[in-house]
């Protein structure tokens, strides 16, 4: 088992990464000092429950905890205020209180939703993340961003609230659809571009093994991704500055997700398209070379991710970016590469430049 620490003073926690870790769930809870008799509410989605509900059930049956599993429909549409009402009602019925525990067991949708319930129910109940998609294992389970969507924008209603533990079992990735593997890989590419050129090169050199879910290679990829995210979050937990770099590709990506209707694009697909836009913007602003643009496009293509936008209007996308959470004093802040491995926050990108870039991607 590999361990990555997230260093946040009294909110610090560990990310445990290994094959088969679900089997030791009971011990992981005991290691966290969760007392016998504690009520545990597990929030998951239908697909994950069908695949792994009985295993979780069995592992918790072996313990002295009192637990209940709540299953929500799978997909982005469950990340909604309507769904929070259902979950608050369930929490009340179960008698959940501040000495209880919530477990987010699923992909990023479940992590963000269950994390938001944990942050807000009784103003805060401890929670742990058991991420089951690649995307959730490399990104959403770490760092404490929790949220639900609003028609006006992605993750518009949320809170920063850190988990007590992130438990990553690599074996659950074996049942993931290829589309969801690809979606997670978009966030992995992001780390290479924003932080670590060597990692970017490793991804390019090992793209076949990664796509084929070689667990040894994937373990390295997940560990490095978690290290990078932990390092950034430890320096700027509440996104006062540096943390915004984790939003590379997301300004356009989130606009696409909201405009197309939540769930139409996978999050990682939209981010991949947004990274193409951001790199192209950087090229137009003389920040990167043609070779760097091509290197990113090649990796995105090798991972089978989309690069073009279907069925949306250019003016709609541009006006949606004005509602981005990174807007300050009316200016959209883009995260743009200086080179592969380093980005900066750039404001004042002219509409004409953005229009030129997006026009090339529209189909
Ligand atoms: N909080 C953050 O920092 C952060 C970071 C990145 C993304 N996100 C959010 O994460 C969400 C996307 O997460 P996602 O891509 O994991 O989507 P998801 O949670 O919808 O999961 C994708 C699909 O995979 C299925 N699934 C999950 N685990 C599985 C498994 N082991 N085997 C088979 N199927 C499985 C799910 O049922 C679902 O159908 C978006 O809402 C995005 O905004 C948040
Ligand atoms: O953890 C972060 O910070 C990120 O930006 C990670 C992103 O991959 C993630 O999609 C996040 O949910 C986006 O946050 P938002 O603040 O733009 O909603
Ligand atoms: Zn993301």
ipTM above 0.90, yes or no: yes
Walk along the chain (363 residues) and give the pLDDT tens digit of each residue: 999 999 999 999 999 999 999 999 999 999 999 999 999 999 999 999 999 999 999 999 999 999 999 999 999 999 999 999 999 999 999 999 999 999 999 999 999 999 999 999 999 999 999 999 999 999 999 999 999 999 999 999 999 999 999 999 999 999 999 999 999 999 999 999 999 999 999 999 999 999 999 999 999 999 999 999 999 999 999 999 999 999 999 999 999 999 999 999 999 999 999 999 999 999 999 999 999 999 999 999 999 999 999 999 999 999 999 999 999 999 999 999 999 999 999 999 999 999 999 999 999
- Evaluate if pTM is beyond 0.95: yes
Determine the length of the chain: 363
Which residues belong to the annotated binding site for Zn(2+)? 187, 250, 267
**Tally of CB atoms within 10 A around 183:** 26
Q: Which domains does the chain have, with CATH numbers?
A: 2-175 (3.40.50.1970), 178-361 (1.20.1090.10)
CA distances from 25 to 32, 101, 167, 226, 363 (A): 11, 14, 9, 20, 47
Nearest to 239 by CA among 336, 141, 337, 160: 160
Atom of ligand 2 minimally distant from the CA of 250: 17
Phi, psi torsion values for 145, nearest 5 degrees: -80, 120
For atom 18 of ligand 1, the residue with the nearest CA is 107
Which residues belong to the annotated binding site for NAD(+)? 74-79, 108-112, 132-133, 145, 154
For atom 11 of ligand 1, the residue with the nearest CA is 108
Enumerate the active-site residues: 123, 145, 187, 229, 239, 243, 247, 250, 254, 267
Residues with CB under 6 A from ligand 2: 139, 143, 145, 154-155, 187, 239, 243, 246-247, 250, 325
**Test site for ligand 1: of 143, 179, 255, 267, most ligand atoms within 8 A of the Cβ:** 267
- Tokens (6 digits) for 143: 């760092």
In angstroms, the CA 128 to CA 101 distance is: 8
Q: How far is the CA of 271 from the centre of ligand 3 (A)?
A: 7
Look up tokens 């992590």; give the residue.
111
- Nearest-5° Cα angle at 251, 266 to 295: 75
């Amino acid at each position: 088992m590999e361990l990555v620490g997230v260093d946040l003073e009294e909110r610090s926690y560990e990310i445990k990464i290994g094959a088969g870790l679900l089997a030791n769930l009971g011990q992981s809870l005991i290691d966290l000092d969760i007392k016998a008799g504690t009520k545990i509410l597990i929030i998951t989605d239908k697909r994950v429950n069908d695949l792994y509900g009985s295993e979780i059930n069995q592992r918790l049956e072996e313990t002295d905890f009192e637990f209940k599993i709540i299953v929500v429909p799978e997909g982005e549409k469950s990340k909604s205020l309507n769904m929070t009402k259902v979950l608050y009602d369930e929490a009340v019925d179960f008698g959940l209180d501040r000495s209880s525990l919530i477990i987010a067991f699923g992909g990023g949708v479940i992590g963000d939703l269950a994390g938001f319930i944990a942050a807000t129910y009784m103003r805060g109940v401890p929670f742990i993340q058991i991420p089951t998609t690649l995307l959730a294992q490399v990104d959403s389970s770490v760092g404490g961003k929790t949220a639900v969507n609003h028609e006006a924008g992605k993750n518009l209603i949320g809170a920063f609230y850190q988990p007590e533990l992130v438990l990553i079992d690599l074996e659950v990735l074996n049942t993931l659809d290829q589309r969801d593997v690809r979606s997670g890989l978009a966030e992995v590419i992001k780390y290479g571009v924003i932080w670590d050129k060597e990692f970017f090169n490793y991804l390019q050199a090992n793209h076949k093994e990664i796509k084929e879910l070689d667990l040894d290679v994937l373990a390295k990829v997940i560990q490095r991704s978690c290290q990078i995210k932990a390092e950034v979050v430890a320096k700027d937990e509440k996104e006062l500055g540096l943390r915004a770099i984790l939003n590379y590709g997301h300004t356009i990506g989130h606009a696409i997700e909201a405009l197309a209707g939540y769930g139409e694009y996978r999050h990682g697909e939209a981010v991949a398209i947004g990274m193409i836009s951001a790199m192209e913007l950087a090229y137009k602003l003389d920040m990167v070379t043609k070779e760097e643009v091509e290197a990113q496009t090649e990796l995105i293509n090798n991972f089978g991710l989309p690069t073009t936008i279907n069925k949306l209007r250019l003016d709609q996308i541009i006006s949606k970016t004005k509602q981005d959470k990174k807007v300050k004093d009316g200016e959209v802040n883009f995260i743009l590469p200086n080179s592969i491995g380093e980005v900066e926050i750039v404001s004042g990108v002219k509409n004409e430049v953005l229009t030129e870039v997006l026009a090339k991607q529209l189909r």
